[in-house]
Amino acid sequence: MSKPKISLHGVFPPIPTPFDVEGEVDLQKLAANLERWNQYDLSGYVVLGSNGEAGYLVEDEKMRVWETAREWIPPEKLLIAGTGCESTRQTIALTRQAARVGADAALLVTPHYYDGRMTPQSLIHHYQTVADEVPIPVIIYSVPKFTHVDMDAVTIALLSRHHNIIGIKDTGGNLAKMADTVRLAEADFQVLVGSASFLLAGLAVGAVGGVMALSSVAPEKCFEILRLFHAGDMAGAAKLQREVIPINTAITSQFGIAGLKFALDLLGYYGGPVRSPLLSLTEEEQQKLRGILIEGGVL
């Protein structure tokens, strides 16, 4: 059976979830952000992934976020819903709910609470069972820095044989494993890099695009790396890749989601507060981040 005809080529921002000063989900601000992002040639959006603070939202909030996102995301752009949960049953239920309100595909993080028992057999059973039971395509989400579960290329390749598992977002940054995944997986299985810091390297080993925090604040820089790569200008692509790494590091590992949201505030989007137990940036951190964004040509 052939896979669903959904292309993951291009750039997909994993968008933050806006909260108001009381900590409630602000759907109006979400709509306003999407309206502005829609001006760019983005291939779609990941809604309620790691940068969306998905783990801090209850199911009713998630449904309202997806409903609003679907209303504002044009039909030609994909809505990829982060629906991965710890149990297979819960993942199936939430993915069906996301599909009901218009999600085009589901991004499923590896279960990880019992990480020592997340063997290749456990993960294969989980993903295949979900893919059998849901009405939208499944994208594997490997983010070992959070989950401490790192799927090997052979396991990913085995999962790629399932007709409803169409790709993987690989945030690990292991280029050898990514290359092995591309080599071993089915030809129609699509690999997305999970960080702008190794976008060019990922493209060089066969990735088709990326889900990257940087594309929420500087999508044009991500587009340009792709354009230069496909035009064969490796020197130009490498130069830009080097330039974006400090910016990407600042809004991810250095300052986290609070940093990403503050960057959005500076750029005229709505970032707003993070949800507890995360904390907003201190004034000193804000100044450091502002300086990095200015130096990187984002501000």
As annotated, the active-site residues are: 169
Comparing C-alpha atoms, which of 20, 13, 12 is closest to residue 273? 20
List the strands of the sheet with 209-211, edge to edge: 10-12, 209-211, 190-193, 165-170, 138-142, 105-109, 78-82, 44-47, 14-15
**Tokens standing for residue 275:** 């949800």
Other CB atoms within 10 A of residue 298 CB: 20
Comparing C-alpha atoms, which of 38, 49, 107, 104 is closest to residue 74? 38
- Report the distance separating Cα 62 and Cα 25, nearest Å: 9
For residue 94, the 8-state DSSP code is H
Cβ-count burial 68-107 (b if 16+ within 10 Å, e if not): bbbebbeeebbbbbbbbbeebeebbbbbbbbbebbbbbbb
| CA-angle at 286, arms to 280 and 290, nearest 5° | 140
Q: Residue 227 to residues 96, 199, 232, 236, 298: CA-CA distances in angstroms?
A: 36, 12, 9, 10, 19
